[in-house]
């Protein structure tokens, strides 16, 4: 689905692939694959991969989400900021230690403060001694 950038979409979340990717069903009954903007969550086979997916599912699965598209990525997914239950999914995942701020693509500086707080508190992936960011994990594979 080609979504106009910066248009607000409201759609039902019908699937969660991992801690930063979900599928939503638009009011026109079109499926939209969404990549949550500005974060990178652990891959499914990484430590905290399953917990990260569960965290996003608990927040968004079977919920009407507000989706603010930013662009389309190289895999055809809509990169967007997503709000579920009144909470920004990017901020939620970072605050709970279930995703890193994806520095290459991050423009929301508040996410870095949330990450610093999660790290200082040892929440989620920050409870690991030396957590490996997913972009490094993917490169090593």
The one catalytic residue in 35, 38, 81, 95 is 35
* Residue 128 falls in the annotated catalytic set: no
Q: How confident is the model at residue 141 (pLDDT cuts 50, 70, 90)?
A: confident
Q: Is 45 left (phi over 0), alpha (psi -120 to 50) or beta?
A: alpha
* Residue 138 falls in the annotated catalytic set: no
pLDDT in tens, 26-50: 999 999 999 999 999 999 999 999 9
Rounded Cα distance between 13 and 53, Å, is 13
| Domain assignments of the chain as residue spans, ordered by start | 9-140
What pLDDT, on a 0 to 100 scale, did the predictor assign at position 73? 95
pLDDT in tens, 118-135: 999 999 999 999 999 999
The one catalytic residue in 30, 38, 43, 74 is 43
Which option is the CATH number for 9-140: 2.40.50.90, 1.10.10.60, 3.40.50.300, 3.30.360.10?
A: 2.40.50.90
Task: Please state the pTM of the whole predicted model.
Answer: 0.93
* Residue 35 falls in the annotated catalytic set: yes
The one catalytic residue in 38, 77, 81, 95 is 77
């Amino acid at each position: 689905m080609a979504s106009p950038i910066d248009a607000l979409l409201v759609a039902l979340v019908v699937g969660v692939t991992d801690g930063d990717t979900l599928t939503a069903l638009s009011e026109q009954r079109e499926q939209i694959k969404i990549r949550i903007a500005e974060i990178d969550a652990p891959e499914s086979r990484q430590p905290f991969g399953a917990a990260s997916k569960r965290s996003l599912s608990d927040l968004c699965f079977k919920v009407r989400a507000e989706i603010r598209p930013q662009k389309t990525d190289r895999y055809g997914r809509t990169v967007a900021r997503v709000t579920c239950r009144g909470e920004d999914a990017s901020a939620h995942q970072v605050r709970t230690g279930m995703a890193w701020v994806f520095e290459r693509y991050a423009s929301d500086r508040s996410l870095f403060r949330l990450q610093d707080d999660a790290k200082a508190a040892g929440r989620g992936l920050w409870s690991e001694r030396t957590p490996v960011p997913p972009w490094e994990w993917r490169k090593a594979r």
